[in-house]
């Protein structure tokens, strides 16, 4: 009997994803990349985090003031 865990995260750096793969094992980690236009993300943002990131109030926000390393 196995356990399946679905975990939605934003892992902006390749090194973070590599660490998860090292911990879980490359055969036990399935990574999906969902590319959504930034305009759609901002439109769906009910907490106003994108606006805070754009104003400088929120730092290191992927896609606004922090890079996302996409190896695909």
Active site residues: 11
Residue 13 CB contacts under 8 Å (≥ 6 apart), including other chains: 69
Burial label for 22, CB within 10 Å (0-12, 13-18, 19+), is exposed
Q: Is the dihedral of CA 9, 13, 19, 24 positive or negative?
A: positive
């Amino acid at each position: 009997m196995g356990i399946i865990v679905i975990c939605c995260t934003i892992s902006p750096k390749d090194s973070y994803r590599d660490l998860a793969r090292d911990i879980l094992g490359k055969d036990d980690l399935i990574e999906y990349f969902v590319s959504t236009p930034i305009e759609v993300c901002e439109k769906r943002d009910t907490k106003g985090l994108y606006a805070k990131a754009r104003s400088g109030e929120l730092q290191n926000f992927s896609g606004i003031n922090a890079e996302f390393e996409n190896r695909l």
